[in-house]
Amino acid sequence: MMNMNDRTSALRRLQAADFALIEANLYLDTHPQCPCGLEYFRCMRNERDDALCSYEMNFGPITMDNSQAECSWEWINDPWPWEMEA
């Protein structure tokens, strides 16, 4: 069973990948033909997809639009922000 430290680590990995992906996007806005920038963007997109998949597999959906609810609405099963450890 995963604990809160595992959840925090998984969330931080996802946040870092999101940040890198946004930064790569901003760079490519001004350097659209840069092959290194494009490769970095693809790499970070893959890292973000992997981090998101790993997080959701272990801890549930990170956003409500990723919910796979079929029999019940599991979005409310995760701790609310005020229930998280500080």
The encoded tokens of residue 27 equal: 């760079």
Contact (CB, 8 A) for 24 and 44: yes
Range of the domain at 21: 11-59
Q: What is the pLDDT of residue 61?
A: 80
Average pLDDT rounded to a whole number, residues 62-81: 68
In a domain, 72, yes or no: no
Q: Is residue 65 part of a domain?
A: no
Counted domains in the chain:
1
pTM to 2 decimal places: 0.74
Residue 82: the pLDDT is 62
pLDDT tens per residue, range 4-46: 689 899 999 999 999 999 999 999 999 999 999 999 999 999 9
Any idea which residue has 């946004």 for tokens?
22
> What's the pLDDT at 25?
96
pLDDT at 76 over 90: no
Is 83 a member of any domain? no
d(CA 54, CA 59): 8
